[in-house]
Structure 1
Amino acid sequence: MSQIPTLDIRRFDTDREAFVAELGAAYREWGFAGIRNHGIPQALIDGSYDVFKRFFALPEEVKRKYHVPGGGGARGYTPFGIETAKDSKYFDLKEFWHVGREIPRDSRHAAVMPPNLWPEELPEFHELAYGLYQALDVLGSRVLSALALHIGLPERYFADKTDFGNSILRPIHYPPITTGDIPNVRAGAHEDINLITLLVGASSEGLEVKSRKGEWVPFTADADTIVVNIGDMLQRLTNHVYPSTTHRVVNPPGDKARQPRYSTPFFLHPNPDFLIDVLPSCITPDNPSRYPEAITAHGYLEERLAEIKLK
């Protein structure tokens, strides 16, 4: 494959065997694929982006009301200049908001999945953001079903392992870059922590994916396409059969740098107590187990949040 493919997910229902083979091959090669005809209403995406932009346009002191010190950015607002890509000297050029799963407060996961915050200045934020969260959660489950089939697991293998997943919707604002020659980039080279990431609004240029040959490949998707990539948890679970690919968001050239950029990834996580242990079907003589010790999803998340300066 000379470029990252985009596939029509409707074929999961009409041409399942071929679709699963093509999707699996794309992820083995790239760790990334585009998904179109995903069924998420454009009105929901547009409405969400509109309210996210209006939130980020609020005065700094208003936004900081929703920052939770010591909360690791789990919910609410994370200001500009905090998150730093693993092993990077420089913080990313972004601010963001986190929406998590709404669960009963007597749930066994309540201690590690706090309640959501909602900006009172924008009453429609809640309905739009959580509507997008739920739509991406459903789409992510379909993608996981196809990936499960590709490696010989039951179609619903992930269903009871993600039904209370600590998944996060992250509206991001990359402000205009008004000074030249800065060492920071909008998002430094990194891999995602979770099982898979679904990126809504990847039609803005800047996203680059590192190929197996070590080359940076730009991936600007069509407006109707959601970019879905493998995270480190799924890489670990599948013993690197599905690679978690390094990617970044670079600063655009010239006048484009003076334009803000917005994007909204959905990080699909397993349930906090899910044990990430290499799948026996992904261990072969040519690919012996790389991870002899299992770790819970929450334990792994805590380790990684410390590495990127959120904890």
Structure 2
Amino acid sequence: MSAIPSVNLADFVSGDPARKEKFVKEIGAAFEDIGFVALSGHFLSDKLVEDLYSEIKKFFQLPQEVKDSYEIEGIGGQRGYTSFGKEHAKGKKEGDLKEFWHFGQYVEDNPKLEEEYPDNVTVKELPEFNVVGKETYKMLEKTAQYVLRALALHLGLEETYFDEYIKNGNSILRPIHYPPITTEPKNAVRAAAHGDINLITLLMGAHGKGLQVQNHEGEWVDAIAQPDELMINVGDMLSRLTNNKLKSTIHQVVNPPRELWGTSRYSIPFFMHPISEMPLNCLEDCVDDEHPKAFEDITAGEYLHERLIELGLIKK
């Protein structure tokens, strides 16, 4: 039995009020309890998943100098390639044992945001890479929209509360490659313990061991999804907005046992971010005498900037 509850998005979009209510209750309870859920019934087809893995493996196998040509200075790693060991968890000196790529938003009908966000980077060596990346981005964004609609209902908000904030939001699709480990890592793991910055994260590739979640007792539990499931967790922005009613859980990716050091690991998180102007002020219904307001008012853009400095991705 996995410690992470499973839910099926098909219940929410079924048109059956009882099934919809069941989904809202299940995902709400999971996010209040452990902050993670395994979700089936999403909008990614098996073929799209297969194509994406194929393309990202081809990219990470390119010669290092070719990959380095896609590392763009001055944008805090928000688009294109970030090389091995560049990013570290908050409070850690050691870089995580990973390299990654960022696909960002495909802005529609909003010249101001087109100006604000960096352009996506095209990999000329792989004609399908960007096509498949964009399609995956769109399907994960659509899945996230429905998850947030369910959470809005759970929180007693209008179902479409989040829609205006996530349309053209600053979301990121991040294919990650954890290369084979060749020497004893000094205090470094594939991804050190951290909470995510954003509203929610949708993770592809949590099928094997490695991802661990810290429960309320402080114990690390394995978070393993079935092959057709996405692992979804609450990020710090949603935790702030709900005054910690929904839990942003600390998680990590541990190094494999020594006999598996020679293997690569791939995972592909989609970080659902709102537009910068979204207020993250604690919702009134989440504040009471037992749960006093725990956070200062801040916008999503201001909060993201603070956190990118902490992660070493942008300089003060």
Q: State how 1:51-90 maps to structure 2 within 5 Å.
A: 51-90=55-94
Q: Which moved more, 1:139-148 or 1:293-302?
A: 293-302
Aligned pairs for 1:165-244 (under 5 A) are 165-180=169-184, 182-244=186-248
Q: Contact between 1:5 and 1:33, CA under 8 Å: does it hold in 2?
A: yes
Determine the C-alpha separation between the residues in 2 that align with 1:140 and 1:20. Answer: 14
Q: Is the 8 A contact 1:100 1:166 kept in 2?
A: yes
Could you tell me which of 100, 107, 126 is aligned with 1:122?
A: 126
- After superposition, residues 1-311 of structure 1 pair within 5 angstroms as 3-12=3-12, 13=14, 14=16, 15-103=19-107, 107-180=111-184, 182-291=186-295, 293-311=296-314
Give unmatched runs, 5+ long, in structure 1: none
2:39 corresponds to which letter in structure 1? Answer: I
What is the deviation of 1:105? 9.1
- Contact 1:185/1:251 (<8 A) preserved: yes
Shift of residue 112 of structure 1? 3.0
Q: Are the aligned partners of 2:2 and 2:224 in contact in 1 as well (CA < 8 Å)?
A: no
- Find the aligned partners of 1:169 and 1:40 in 2 and give their Cα distance: 14
Does the C-alpha gap of structure 1 residues 82 and 2 become closer, same or farther in structure 2, counting only changes over 3 Å? closer
Distance, in Å, in 2 between the alignment partners of 1:65 and 1:262 is 21
The structural deviation recorded for 1:181 is 5.1
Task: State the distance in 1 between where 2:149 and 2:223 align.
Answer: 24
Distance 1:241 1:106 in 2: 33
- Using the TM superposition, give the Cα deviation of residue 290 of structure 1 relative to its aligned residue in structure 2, in angstroms: 1.0
- The offset of 1:89, in angstroms, is 2.4
CA contact (8 A) 1:109 1:272 kept: no
**Does the residue aligned with 1:126 lie in a helix, a strand or coil?**
helix
Report if aligned partners of 1:273, 1:297 keep a CA contact under 8 Å in 2: yes
CA distance in 2, matches of 1:300, 1:181: 32
Paired with 2:262 and 2:188, the residues of 1 have a C-alpha distance of 15
Query: 1: distance between equivalents of 2:11 and 2:107?
Result: 33
* Greater CA drift, 277-286 or 1-10: 1-10
| Superposed displacement of residue 109, structure 1 | 2.0
Q: Which amino acid aligns with 1:238?
A: T
More deviation in 14-23 or 220-229? 14-23
Q: Do 2:2 and 2:222's aligned partners in 1 also have CA atoms closer than 8 Å?
A: no
Q: Percent identity?
A: 47
Please tell me whether the aligned partners of residues 95 and 172 of structure 1 are also in contact (alpha carbons under 8 angstroms).
yes
CA distance in 1, matches of 2:30, 2:69: 42
Q: Which runs of 4+ in 1 moved over 4 A?
A: none
The alpha carbon displacement at 1:255 in A equals 1.8
Does the residue aligned with 2:69 lie in a helix, a strand or coil?
Answer: helix
Distance 1:6 1:59 in 2: 40
1:34, 1:160 → 2: CA distance?
26
For 1:287 and 1:209, the matched residues in 2 are separated by 24
Partners of 1:104 and 1:10 in 2: CA distance: 27
Work out the CA distance in 1 between the residues paired with 2:112 and 2:161. Answer: 22
CA contact (8 A) 2:191 2:254 kept: yes
CA distance in 2, matches of 1:73, 1:125: 18
Q: Output the TM-score relative to the length of structure 1.
A: 0.97
Q: Which runs of 5+ in 2 are unaligned?
A: none
Shift in Å, 1:104? 5.6
The number of equivalent residue pairs is 310
RMSD in angstroms over aligned alpha carbons? Answer: 1.4
User: CA shift at 1:239, angstroms?
Assistant: 0.4
Deviation at 1:108? 1.7
